């Protein structure tokens, strides 16, 4: 991963202003001399790989593999030893600890023998809340605690309660500093309780008011926890959901080190529509964050087939930057370290900004390749640069095949140079095309490349 510092000490207002400036420049602007920045621009590298390793304890072999593959890894709080071993193998990997913002839990492992575990998946233990702060449990209009459907023994907490916010923050910051994590992956920064329960919160009249209360509470919660972690030189990366529905929410919630999109490249309408990520303002906010190059974009695409894998990786490539990381997810419980062959395709560094064609297709060119994403719900066509091939194409031979020189009497006249443009490519709805320089297929077999070893137009050996 790049060696540049992730966290810069500047007020939220300044960060937001910079994000707005970048977002506006993506649609076309000319910066004045007073706005020019002397520091070198961050390199928009092809998406790095990351591991959301919360499914089960990692094995020694998986940790060794992670040190070679990933720029960011997330572990459960009880995997401090795995974090330290990973650091020994690769000190540049950022290792975050999983903590849930919105629930406390009393399943085995979170509560054992009537006591909260030493290392919790949440910030506040169930037993501690039960004994000392039962008011921190969220209640429905009938005064009942809210257990998440599909997730037994996960209990919704009063994320709007300032005392709960402060206690969570104090406990998590202390643990992160003591154990040596780089920061926190904060799960369930959600937009609506309806994904977990149809309950209406006490004091609200309907589902809309319930969701507004939760969102407002999480806004304040993120600010409190984010400030505390930033002041401790740690990052806060929330798993923020459905930001296409609330303009500005992604930008606001990613300002303490980044954000995670767990449904990146998700297809609408039960798998028959376009790509949800491109709806609303979300994609523009993601682009602005990637262009700034100061915080993590951790992207997850559910990949049940090759189309989802292509569209997920290529959409992440449209957001290429120094801290854009993507992973496929072939299981719902994240039990395995994930890897896609597309992550080894060798696109290189982006040489232009992602651009949208009139038909809705997005494209971007790299030093060693090109991507096109069709986020629409209908088939589109696009013209690709010449001389590129799809990853997985048989590797070209490094040695030319011998040929026989014809005699002068049989030499055919030279063919006229063709000036016809390459034929357009068809891109199905919610699909993508990824093309690479065929010489990369040779190089990738002989060279091992990491993100710190990219140079413009060249590849350097380890």
The whole-model pTM stands at 0.83
The answer to whether 44 and 317 are in contact (CB under 8 A) is: no
DSSP state of 408: G
Length of the chain as a residue count: 462
98 exposed, middle or buried (CB, 10 Å; 0-12, 13-18, 19+)? buried
**Cα(322)–Cα(315) distance, integer angstroms:** 16
Q: How high is the pLDDT of residue 421?
A: 67
DSSP state of 136: G
Q: How high is the pLDDT of residue 420?
A: 63
Q: Which residue intervals of 76-161 are DSSP H helices?
A: 80-89, 126-132
* Strand partners of residue 431: 374
Structure tokens at 462: 């380890």
The answer to whether 136 and 162 are in contact (CB under 8 A) is: no
Q: How high is the pLDDT of residue 445?
A: 46
* Per-residue exposure over 373-382, b if at least 16 CB sit within 10 Å of its own CB, e if not: bbbbeeebeb
φ and ψ of 351, to 5 deg:
-110, 0
Structure tokens at 169: 């923050």
Q: Minimal CA–CA distance to 19: which of 298, 294, 234?
A: 294
Q: How high is the pLDDT of residue 33?
A: 37
Collect the ranges in the chain with pLDDT lower than 70: 1-42, 395-421, 441-462
Q: How high is the pLDDT of residue 253?
A: 97
Q: How high is the pLDDT of residue 418?
A: 53
Domain range summary for the chain, segments of one domain joined by +: 12-26+40-344
Q: Three-state DSSP class for 188?
A: strand
**Cα(96)–Cα(185) distance, integer angstroms:** 6
Q: Minimal CA–CA distance to 325: which of 56, 97, 51?
A: 51
The answer to whether 189 and 240 are in contact (CB under 8 A) is: yes
Residues with Cβ within 8 Å of 107's Cβ and at least 6 positions away in sequence, in order, are: 152, 153, 154
Q: Which residue has the tokens 């071993």?
A: 85
Q: What is the third-level CATH fold of 12-26+40-344?
A: TIM Barrel (3.20.20)
* Strand partners of residue 425: 382
């Amino acid at each position: 991963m790049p060696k540049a510092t992730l966290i810069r000490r500047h007020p939220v207002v300044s960060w937001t202003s910079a994000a707005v400036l970048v977002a506006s420049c993506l649609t076309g602007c000319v910066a004045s001399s007073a706005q020019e920045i002397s520091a070198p621009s961050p390199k928009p590298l092809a998406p790095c790989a990351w591991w959301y390793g919360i499914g089960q304890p990692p094995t020694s072999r998986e940790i060794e593999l992670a040190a070679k593959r990933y720029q960011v890894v997330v572990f459960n709080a009880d995997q401090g030893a795995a974090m330290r071993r990973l650091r020994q193998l690769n000190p540049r990997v950022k290792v975050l600890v999983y903590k849930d913002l919105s629930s406390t839990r009393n399943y085995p492992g979170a509560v054992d023998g009537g006591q909260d575990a030493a290392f919790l998946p949440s910030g506040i233990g169930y037993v501690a809340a039960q004994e000392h702060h039962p008011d921190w449990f969220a209640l429905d209009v009938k005064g009942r605690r809210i257990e998440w459907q599909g997730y037994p023994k996960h209990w919704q907490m009063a994320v709007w309660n300032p005392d709960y916010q402060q206690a969570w923050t104090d406990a998590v910051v202390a643990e992160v500093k003591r154990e040596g994590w780089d920061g926190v992956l904060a799960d369930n920064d959600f937009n609506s309780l309806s994904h977990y329960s149809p309950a209406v919160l006490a004091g609200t009249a309907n589902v809309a008011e319930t969701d507004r209360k939760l969102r407002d509470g999480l806004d304040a919660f993120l600010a409190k926890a984010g400030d505390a972690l930033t002041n401790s030189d740690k990052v806060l990366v929330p798993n923020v959901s459905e930001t296409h529905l609330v303009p500005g929410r992604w930008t606001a919630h990613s300002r303490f080190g980044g954000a995670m999109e767990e449904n990146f490249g998700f297809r609408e309408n039960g798998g028959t529509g376009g790509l949800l990520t491109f709806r609303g303002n979300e994609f523009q906010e993601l682009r602005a964050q990637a262009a700034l190059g100061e915080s993590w974009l951790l992207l997850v695409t559910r990949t049940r087939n090759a189309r989802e894998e292509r569209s997920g990786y290529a959409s992440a490539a449209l957001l290429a930057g120094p801290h854009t990381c993507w992973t496929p997810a072939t299981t719902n419980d994240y039990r395995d370290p994930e890897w896609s062959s597309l992550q080894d395709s060798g696109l290189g560094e982006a040489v232009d900004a992602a651009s949208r064609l009139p038909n809705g297709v997005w494209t971007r060119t790299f030093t060693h390749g090109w991507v096109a994403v069709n986020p629409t719900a209908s088939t589109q066509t696009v013209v690709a640069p010449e001389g590129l091939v799809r990853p997985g194409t048989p590797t070209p031979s490094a040695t030319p095949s011998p040929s026989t020189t014809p005699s002068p009497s049989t030499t055919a006249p030279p063919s006229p140079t063709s000036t016809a443009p390459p034929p357009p490519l068809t891109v199905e709805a919610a699909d993508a095309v990824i093309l690479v320089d065929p010489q990369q297929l040779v190089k990738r077999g002989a060279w091992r490349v990491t993100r710190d070893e990219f140079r413009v137009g060249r590849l350097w050996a380890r």
